Amino acid sequence: MVSMLKEIDELKKEMDAHRPLGKNALKQLKEYYRIGLTYSSNALEGNSLTETETKIVIEDGITIGGKPLKDHYEAIGHSEAYTLLYELAKGKEIREKDILELHKLFYYRIDPENAGTYRKKKVIITGAEFRPPFPSEIPNLMKEFLSNLPRMKKKCHPVEFSALLHKDLVSIHPFIDGNGRTARLLMNLALLQSGYAITIIPPVLRNKYINTLKRAQGKPKDDRPFINFISAMVYEGMKDYVRLLDAL
């Protein structure tokens, strides 16, 4: 694990050597990751759009024949949340209102009543022993979650912090739907704020992703496999980013 973080930080040094990036390079990289992150994060949750179809929906505003309207809304909404992500990355804090706004942008076309608001109903996660907290517990759990962030950020490596941030939010499960996508946006916000690259979890690794998350939520809880998994994803993402920088 320590060696993986060292390798990630070596790649960060390579990234930093390219900075500051020109306006055109920044724009190209931002749009490249907009499609990749939107496609992968939605596909992990069962969205049927391919990466090419996601690009067409976002960039050309064209609907894909035979695909559910909800899948189109998820692509457009995630793209809007991604735009906010880059604005928030200019700051150093993660605030409650930012989490709510990320969810709202992603979800308001699908369910305007519940977009950007904590759930008021109990939920069950299919195929998991983990039971999310009761709705009445969520406001206090979110306050505790947010109050712990400065201490956790100081204590952890930025990559570990981003993984725990993801795990903790999805375990509180504050929203009626879209918790995984909001958690992945939040994870990437933490990475961007610390100078790392956008990290994408490929849909082909969904089972490993879900299984390591289950272990972090199980009894006894074991965060390490999930942190290791996210670290490996960050490492691959950093390699890809450096490759793109070298090509620009």
Catalytic residues, by residue number, are: 173
Q: What is the 3-state secondary structure (H, E, C) of 217-241?
A: HCCCCCCHHHHHHHHHHHHHHHHHH
Given a contact cutoff of 8 angstroms between Cβ atoms, the answer to whether 44 and 209 are in contact is: yes
In angstroms, rounded to a whole number, what is the distance separating the alpha carbons of residues 180 and 170?
Answer: 6
| CA–CA distances in Å: residue 110 to residues 27, 107, 121 | 29, 5, 17
User: Long-range contacts for 68-73 (Cβ within 8 Å, ≥24 apart)?
Assistant: 70/110, 71/42, 71/47, 73/109, 73/110
Q: Which amino acid is at 54?
A: T
Residue showing tokens 């949750």: 45
Token couple for 41: 């994060």
With beta carbons less than 8 A apart as the criterion, state whether 168 and 156 touch: no
Tell me if 78 sits within 8 A of 181, measured CB to CB: yes
Closest of 239, 173, 244, 248 to residue 11, by C-alpha: 239
- What does residue 11 show for φ and ψ, rounded to 5 degrees? -65, -35
